[in-house]
Amino acid sequence: MSFQHRFDPTSLREYDIRGIVGKTLSGDDAFAIGRCFGTIVKRDGGNKVAVGYDGRLSSPMLEERLVAGLVACGLQVVRVGCGPTPMLYYAAYELKCDGGVMVTGSHNPPDYNGFKMVLRNKPFFGAQIQTIGSMAAAGDVVDEAQGSSAEEDVSDRYVARMVKDYDGGERQLNVVWDPGNGSGGAVTEKLVKALPGKHTVINAEIDGRFPNHHPDPTVLKNLEQIIAEVRKQGADLGIAFDGDADRIGVVDNEGHMFFGDQLLVVLARDVLKNKPGATIIADVKASQVLFDEIEKAGGKPLMWKTGHSLIKQKMAETGSPLAGEMSGHTFFADKWYGFDDAPYSAVRLLGIVARMTEKMSDVRQALPQVINTPELRFNCPEERKFAVVDEVKQRLASSGAKVQDVDGVRVQTEDGWWLLRASNTQAVLVARAEARDEAGLERLKASLSEQLQASGLAAPDFSGENAGH
């Protein structure tokens, strides 16, 4: 039977395949992904693929069609069921699979879904995802063969392996957890039973309609429930996950949000005690405070491009034991596998907090205080977004400004810094600025606006709340 398929072009993204179910993503797409990704695995000499799915209403149907496509390539498919994305990555490693596919819409609205892939335990992204589109259009797949599929529940093994790295000693913590009705719910409930201390889990039921709040723990509004519970109980901290539990959000004992870069400071100090001089990676959106604190703790800070696949690749290249992004992706290669894993990062954080004499709020308040804009995203035509960044870069180069251009442009001044980069996944530009005081922040915003206007774009709306940080 001949095979050919065309994807909606908007669904083939930089780091994954994603779309609106019934509009830009269908069961036929899932089958085609199975056929094409399965072909790539086969041609690479592989024969075994792990598959998992999140708690969205459309996920079981998409998983079934995906598996059918993989099996039609003659592959052996291990179905690990509903759970977090990092559990699928774990399964791919531990079950010695040649590839892995996770059906997940991550933190997108309920009607979205998508696919994240790994090939030989490395991120599968960028040009590789575009290859799936061209293979499907050309019908370039291996001949149909009869593979097999079997279910294997790895959740207990995954939890036991995480708990093995808990190093908090005897202190009993009081912790509130919020998996946000996402696919990390059942694993969280197993995890808290295996950890010492008192644990309260809210929104544990996996429900793809996300009835309580949107599952993105980097947005303060989505943390209101966990903050209220932490304050009510006088808990030591709260831990929240996104829809597929590969991103973490943390609130301290006072109910204040710990930003992704502040969390990385805490994790990095701990890792560097045993690995002095190690390279710690963070994305270009992170605070200067983070890079300074890594240096103070005896590490080598490395600023890198935003994007979980790009960070994982750089970690492998540099031998970095720890990395993180502002978005809450946190990657441990120290004792762990180097992929982004929110439940595992939570276990490591709890170990650190249990060994601390001070409170989480003391740690946050002791960090140098800066103020910054939230991440500002504004529309820019697809064909102009990278060009605008290049134009800004060239103008700055001729003015002698101090510029870091690893991902867009990050401009350092006496006031602080501002960043302008093109999104890899949308027709938008992303900006951010950080200073020690309001006056400095205003000067940075003015400088950024001036550059945008010189490229024919309106200045972004800076009216969002500036965050103390």
CB 29 within 8 A of CB 103: no
Element (H, E) at 53: strand 48-53
Nearest to 245, CA basis, from 193, 200, 203, 197: 203
Instruction: Provide CB contacts within 8 A for 48, sequence distance 6+.
Output: 75, 76, 77, 78, 95, 96, 97, 98, 99
Local structure of 445: helix, strand or coil: helix
The pair of structure tokens assigned to 105 is: 């819409």
Catalytic position from the list 26, 58, 59, 106: 106
CB 432 within 8 A of CB 419: yes
- The end-to-end CA distance of the chain, in Å, is 59
Instruction: Please give the Cα distance from 251 to 262 (Å, whole number).
Output: 11
φ/ψ of residue 281, rounded to 5: -105, 140
Region label for 408, one of left (φ > 0), alpha (ψ between -120 and 50) or beta (otherwise): left
Instruction: Please give the Cα distance from 281 to 320 (Å, whole number).
Output: 7
CB 367 within 8 A of CB 294: no
Q: Is 106 an active-site residue? A: yes
Nearest to 14, CA basis, from 116, 98, 107: 116
CB 141 within 8 A of CB 39: yes
The CB-side HSE value for 239 (13 A sphere, CA atoms) comes to 30
Element (H, E) at 317: helix 308-318
Instruction: Please give the Cα distance from 220 to 249 (Å, whole number).
Output: 10
59-71 helix and 27-43 helix, angle to the nearest 10 degrees: 40
Alpha-carbon distances of 312 from 96, 157, 219, 333, rounded to whole Å = 19, 23, 24, 10
Q: Where are the beta strands (DSSP E) in 212-325?
A: 237-241, 248-251, 257-258, 279-283, 300-304, 322-324
CB 106 within 8 A of CB 183: no
Which positions are annotated as active-site residues? 106
